[in-house]
């Protein structure tokens, strides 16, 4: 049975971090905006660090967020690593692919954000563009360093994505340099940027699974987190 306040796991980073007066240590961390977004929508957020066996934690969850972060190892989609590919963390790749598989096996709702959407695609055999500017001819998706700039997105009006968002045209906060090249098996594109980059996906025939290329936690529209938490509160995991 789902918990009274749905427990939403959020995949986390493993990076060196600084805090306080002098601490500079390896850390498991997550931008606070993810946690706050889940909590505002009525969920109880739980951070899932990228360690071996973390997929076992899915048994205690009602929903899963695959968060943004560094690039996926291109070996996972049989590609050589491009010069621009950065921030690859093998432990995080292993943890998130295992978390996704476990969540799908239990029938939990899943929201993939930026890197998380890319994990969803690669998990189904899809591929990625390792650096978008030379592919699409724009820097629409990451204009400045460490800044979430908006750009417009159009959503398929027949999709679950449109139903969740409640609209088919919106501006989204964006920060990424990679994107989906070939969708994986059963991966359906449901939103696009003006340069043709895929901005949202669903799994055909699999309910309650949605990925977006943008960062909803950095915007002011709670629709995606509201959907995840509401779905988690109703779902009966298998």
* Catalytic residue chosen out of the listed positions 141, 151, 217, 236: 217
**Dist CA 174 CA 155 (whole Å):** 16
The answer to whether 10 touches 44, Cβ cutoff 8 Å, is no
The answer to whether 118 touches 72, Cβ cutoff 8 Å, is yes
Give SS3 for 27. Answer: strand
Give SS3 for 65. Answer: strand
Give me the residues paired with residue 200 across strands.
Answer: 191, 212
The answer to whether 143 touches 177, Cβ cutoff 8 Å, is no
Question: Could you tell me whether strands 63-66 and 128-129 are parallel, antiparallel, or unpaired per DSSP bridges?
Answer: unpaired
- 217 classed as catalytic: yes
The answer to whether 90 touches 113, Cβ cutoff 8 Å, is no
- For the chain, where are the alpha helices, taking DSSP H only? 32-40, 90-106, 115-123, 133-136, 160-165, 223-234
- 114 classed as catalytic: yes
* Catalytic residue chosen out of the listed positions 114, 129, 176, 202: 114
**Dist CA 42 CA 92 (whole Å):** 27
* Catalytic residue chosen out of the listed positions 129, 141, 208, 215: 215
The answer to whether 211 touches 117, Cβ cutoff 8 Å, is yes
- 15 classed as catalytic: no
Q: Report the catalytic residues.
A: 114, 215, 217
């Amino acid at each position: 049975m789902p918990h009274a306040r749905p427990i939403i796991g959020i995949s986390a980073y493993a990076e060196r971090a600084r805090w306080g007066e002098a601490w500079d240590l390896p850390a498991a961390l997550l931008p606070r905006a993810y946690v706050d977004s889940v909590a505002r929508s009525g969920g109880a957020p739980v951070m899932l660090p990228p360690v071996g066996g973390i997929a076992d934690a899915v048994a205690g969850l009602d929903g899963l967020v695959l968060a943004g972060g560094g690039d996926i190892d291109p070996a996972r989609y049989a590609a050589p690593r491009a010069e621009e590919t950065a921030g690859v963390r093998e432990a995080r790749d292993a943890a998130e692919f295992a978390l996704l598989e476990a969540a799908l096996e239990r029938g939990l709702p899943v929201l993939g954000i930026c890197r998380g959407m890319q994990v969803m695609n690669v998990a189904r055999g899809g591929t990625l563009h390792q650096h978008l500017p030379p592919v699409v001819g724009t820097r629409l998706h990451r204009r400045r360093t460490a800044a979430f700039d908006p750009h417009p997105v159009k959503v398929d009006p027949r999709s679950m994505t449109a139903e969740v968002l409640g609209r088919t045209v919106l501006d989204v906060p964006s920060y990424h340099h990679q994107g989906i090249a070939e969708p994986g098996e059963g991966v359906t594109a449901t939103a696009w940027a003006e340069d043709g980059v895929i901005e949202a996906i669903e799994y055909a025939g699999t309910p309650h699974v949605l990925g977006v290329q943008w960062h909803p936690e950095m915007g002011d529209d709670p629709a995606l987190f509201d959907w995840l938490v509401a779905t988690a509160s109703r779902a009966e995991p298998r």
